[in-house]
Each structure stands twice: as structure tokens, then as C-alpha cells.
Structure 1
Amino acid sequence: MNPLVKDHVIVNGNRIAYGIYGEGTPVVLMHGTPSSSYIWRHVAPQLAEAGYRVYLYDLLGFGLSERPWDPAVDTSVTGQVPVLEGLLDHWGLTDFHLVAHDIGGAVALRLALLAGRMPRSLTLLDIVSYDSWPSPRTRQQMHEGLEKLITASDADHRAHFHDWLSSAVHDKAAFAEGAQAYFLELISNPIGQASLFQHQIRHYDPTHTQEVVPHLDRLGEIPVQILWGQNDEWQMVDWAHRLHGDIPGSALKILEGCGHFLMEDRPEEVTGYLLDFIGREN
């Protein structure tokens, strides 16, 4: 697998891996949990080819970015906001389109509504919101003692999270032949297994998303597009309709035959919606 993030910069004392492609109007792509910027591999090149300068990165504690040993380093949704701000400053971006998936969407909302850095436009894809997360499946497993997998054998850990990742897509066969092994590797092995719990799962807390709810109406100041997989088992499509109702003027598109990782199931369709939306708002 060829990662998209080939550069890095120190932000607030931690190394963040990022990549920049193309020339033109800036578009920032954000991934979620438990993936990485690699989830944009079919989308980013098409945006760059269409005349946009595409910026993407791995969240702190994810992918090829640093996995801090110090448990005091905040890799929650809230803790990721100053990381994104530092990257925007490093890139010199003040006017940009923002596209965000899963918890990346929660980071984007906090950036816009609580940190005061409103993008030119915002596209939200199957994001965590309100008290929609952890997903019912993950919440049940956490209640039953998901943390026991911290000390599980590599084989048991991989088997569990292989099934977990499979539930993120509609076309499981194509995913198994494609990126599933790469995403599983990022959260396995001696570093990835511990990091998954320290930097991701321990921060699955809806407090970070509930705090922006009273401010969602302010997103009516900018163009907002919501894309959602009809078959999302992690973030049910009802959450998309709720967001659509709370964000004035937002556009909602439900993609059939798509799970939570809609960029895996329907990358061409996702790219088409992005090009049409950003092109109109550019």
C-alpha cells in the first residue's frame, strides 16, 4: 500500500504526517476512526486532477502520525482541533473547503463553531454527532469489557477487529481485497494494538459532539453538504436527517449501497458530489 502522507511537521510537539497534491483552490480532507488518510486514496487524486490543491493528514495518534507514549497527550476530538489549527497555519490556509468523515467531522465542527475558523464550505460524510457514538455495537462491546483486547494475542486482536472493519462497508468482498488489511495493520502489531485503545477508543465520548449542538444553526452562514451511506451500520442514516434539519440550507445526499466507509464503497460517486458541490461554491 502506498500512503498518501509523505511529509511531516511538528505540531505542538508531535509529528503529524501529511500530503499535498495538485494546484488551485485549497481542499482539506479529514479521516476518522479507525482509518487514516489512506481512505481518500481514490478521491484525492481526482480532486487534484480537477484543479484543486488537496491537503490531507493523519490525525494525531492515527495512521503514520505520531502515537504519543504520554497518556496526557490529548488525542480526543477536542484535542485534535489545535493539531488541525497548527496544520492550517503551517500550510498558510485561511480560506479553504473542508471535507470530513466520521470523527474528522466532529473535529471540523469544533474548528468552525468553537475555534472560530469557518471554512469556505463544509462537506460532512457519515460523521459522529450528538450522542450518536460510540455505535451501538461498540458501546455494547465496551460495556462487556472491550479493553481486555489490549492484552489479547495478536491473532485474537486481528480477528476481532477484522470483523469490526468489515461492518464499515457494504461491499465486504471488495474491501477485503482492497484496503482492509492496511487499515487492520495500522491498529494491530505491538504499537497499533495499544495505540488503538490509548489514542482512539478511550476517547469515544459524545461530550465532544454534544457541545457543538447549540451552535449548529451558525453553519447556515456557509454552504454545507451532508453525504451518508444508506447502509451505514455505525452511524445510522437517521443522524444524517437530524443534522440536515439542524443546519440551515444544508444539502443532503444519501448514497445507496454504501456503508460507513462510503469512500470505499462508492468513491466515484463521492468524488462526483464533491466536485459538483465545491465547484458551485468555489
Structure 2
Amino acid sequence: MTTLLNETVLINGQRIATGRHGAGIPVLLLHGTPAHSIIWRNIVPRLTAAGMQVHLFDLLGFGASECPRQADTSVAAQSQLVAALLDHWGLRRAHLMGHDIGGVSAVLFALDHPERVRSLTIADLPSYDSWPSPTWRDIHERFDEYARMPADQHRALMARQIGMAVFNKTLMQGPLLEAYLAPISGVIGQPAFYQHQVAHYDSRYTRDFAERLPGMDLPVQILWGADDEWQPVEYAHRLLGDIPGATLHVLENAGHFLMEDAPERVSEYLQGFIYQTDPEVLDVTRRPVYTTE
């Protein structure tokens, strides 16, 4: 599958695979786990066609980015990459969308650097005490053992887990499933997956959301798959109650990977929210026309 990544950036001496597409309103997309930038492939073209410059990257230890032998790849550490990348791209402020743990990193960045965030869209993110979810709990608690399991067993386990992330189970098959499995398989990918991803499925990064989120002062939109098997929609409503002025859209017939199940609806909500909140889009008659077709 065609990659969205077209540049390599060194941040603190570590190689980060990044992509930049289109021109116009700056938008930064943060993927989650077990995923990488491929999850945005149906979103980016819609955003660029709507007059936006889309920036994205593979988190450190994920996808095509470096998998260092020793590094902090927690959501807190990943949030610190955002400022460095915005500086690299010459962006003082940008609209952020974060999915899953990318959503956690986006929230942490917005709490620490609200002056750099034009708006925040978060989707199906772990929050409060919601993670690791039941289906990942044993894998998280014994991640070092799973890292050493036979390769075929690991791939079968991950195929099952990733299959749970979509509502339409026919989607996650063949080349698409292989594209998700490839970076987390093999002699490097398998142990790196458990070290850099699964080991950090830890609610200690989000337990204080109830205290911190009410102080958030920026436009926030929440998107959620109604059929998310990992992060129940009840947590979306809890986030809605704690974030002042937030809006929530629950997408029917969509699972945890809602960008796979409903890319057109995700794009439409994101575009609409950006147009409503961008301080530099003043003349609505000159806004680019976008479509979900």
C-alpha cells in the first residue's frame, strides 16, 4: 500500500518517519496502537482536497519510525515529540486529531501547550482507568513473555486482536491486515511491539483526567465508534462531561478503528469542526468545498 510518509526527521537523535501533504490549514494526525500512519490513508486525501495541509508521523517505536533498543515510548514521551515536529514544520499552531493512544498524547500536549493547539479532535482514546482493556490485560501484564512467543502464534494473536478493532470484519483481511501486521512482526518488529507499545498500556497516564480536563480551554471534539470493543462508549460521555464545551459524535456501525469503518464520516466531522473553530478562517464564502463522496 502507498505510504503517506515522505520525510525522515531526527528528533533527539532518533529517526521519525513523517509525512506532509497539501496546502492550507495545518492539521496534525496522531495514530494509535496497534497501528501506524496507514490508518489515515482514507482521511488524508479528503482533508487535502478540502484545503488543508496534513502533517502526520509514525510514533517513536511504531511503523517506519526508529525502534530504539532503549527509549521512553510512553504516551507522555510521545506527546513531547509533537512540539519538536511542529517546530520542524515551522508551525506555531495546528489543529490536532489523535486516535487511541495518539489521542492521549494529543490531550497531554494540549494540556501542557494550549497556545499551540487551534482545536483538538480525539477519538476512541484510553482514558481514566479504561486501559489496558480486558482483551489486552494479560498481554500487557506478561508482555515480556509474549515478546518471546513463536512468531506464528504472535501473528495469529495479533490478527485476532486487530480484527476486533473494526465493526466490518471483512475489512481487516488480506493486504490490509498484512499492512497492519508487518511492522509488529519478525525478529525486530515482534519484540519492539511489546516493548514500545504493549508495555505502556498503563492508566497511570490518564488517572488524573478528572482533575485536569475541566481546566482545558480550547475547542474539543470527541468522535467514538458505537461498537468499540476495546474502549466502551461510556468513556466518551465521561470525557464529554469533564471537558468544558466539548462536543461528541458517536458513529454507528463503527468500531475502535473508526477511520477504517467510517472514513467519510470521520473526515466530515473533522473538516466541519476545523472550519467552525479555526481563528484564521474568517470569510465562510471562501472556504474550500469538501465532500464525503
Tell me which amino acid in the other structure corresponds to 1:76. S
- On the 8 A contact 2:162/2:172 being kept in 1, the answer is no
For 2:210 and 2:25, how far apart are their aligned partners in 1? 29
For 1:264 and 1:258, how far apart are their aligned partners in 2? 8
1:162 pairs with one of 159, 180, 183? 159
Distance 1:146 1:243, change over 3 A: same
The CA deviation string for residues 30-76 of structure 1, in whole angstroms up to 9 with x for no partner, is 10111001100000111011100000000000010000012xx1000
TM-score (norm. length: structure 2): 0.91
- On the 8 A contact 1:12/1:83 being kept in 2, the answer is no
1:227 pairs with one of 218, 223, 226? 223
TM-score (norm. length: structure 1): 0.95
Secondary structure at the counterpart of residue 134 of structure 1: coil
What's 1:86 paired with?
A: 84
What's 2:25 paired with?
A: 25
Once the two structures are superposed, the pairs formed by residues 41-56 of structure 1 within 5 Å of their partners are 41-56=41-56
Once the two structures are superposed, the pairs formed by residues 177-192 of structure 1 within 5 Å of their partners are 177=174, 179-192=176-189
The CA deviation string for residues 243-277 of structure 1, in whole angstroms up to 9 with x for no partner, is 00101111100000111000000101111111111
Once the two structures are superposed, the pairs formed by residues 195-210 of structure 1 within 5 Å of their partners are 195-210=192-207
- On the 8 A contact 1:114/1:212 being kept in 2, the answer is no
What's 1:60 paired with?
A: 60
For 2:127 and 2:60, how far apart are their aligned partners in 1? 20
Secondary structure at the counterpart of residue 122 of structure 1: strand
Once the two structures are superposed, the pairs formed by residues 116-127 of structure 1 within 5 Å of their partners are 116-127=114-125
Tell me which amino acid in the other structure corresponds to 1:137. T
TM-fit CA distance, 1:177? 4.2
Secondary structure at the counterpart of residue 206 of structure 2: helix
For 2:242 and 2:28, how far apart are their aligned partners in 1? 24
Deviating above 3 A after TM superposition, structure 1's stretches of 4 or more consecutive aligned residues are: 115-118, 140-143
For 1:94 and 1:212, how far apart are their aligned partners in 2? 26
Aligned residues: 278
Identity %, equivalent residues: 47
For 2:260 and 2:274, how far apart are their aligned partners in 1? 21
What's 1:128 paired with?
A: 126
Once the two structures are superposed, the pairs formed by residues 93-132 of structure 1 within 5 Å of their partners are 93-132=91-130
Tell me which amino acid in the other structure corresponds to 2:193. L
For 1:31 and 1:141, how far apart are their aligned partners in 2? 21
TM-fit CA distance, 1:203? 1.1
Tell me which amino acid in the other structure corresponds to 1:202. A
Tell me which amino acid in the other structure corresponds to 1:36. H
For 1:137 and 1:200, how far apart are their aligned partners in 2? 15
Runs of 5+ unmatched residues, structure 1: none
Deviates more, 1:59-68 or 1:206-215: 206-215
Distance 1:178 1:249, change over 3 A: farther
Deviates more, 1:170-179 or 1:18-27: 170-179
- On the 8 A contact 1:18/1:55 being kept in 2, the answer is yes
- On the 8 A contact 1:125/1:228 being kept in 2, the answer is yes
Is 2:225 the counterpart of 1:268? Answer: no
Is 2:169 the counterpart of 1:172? Answer: yes
Is 2:217 the counterpart of 1:217? Answer: no
Secondary structure at the counterpart of residue 128 of structure 2: coil
TM-fit CA distance, 1:148? 2.4
What's 2:10 paired with?
A: 10
For 1:142 and 1:206, how far apart are their aligned partners in 2? 12
- On the 8 A contact 1:30/1:104 being kept in 2, the answer is yes
Runs of 5+ unmatched residues, structure 2: 279-293
Tell me which amino acid in the other structure corresponds to 1:167. M
Distance 1:116 1:254, change over 3 A: closer
For 1:117 and 1:3, how far apart are their aligned partners in 2? 31
Tell me which amino acid in the other structure corresponds to 1:10. L
What's 2:40 paired with?
A: 40
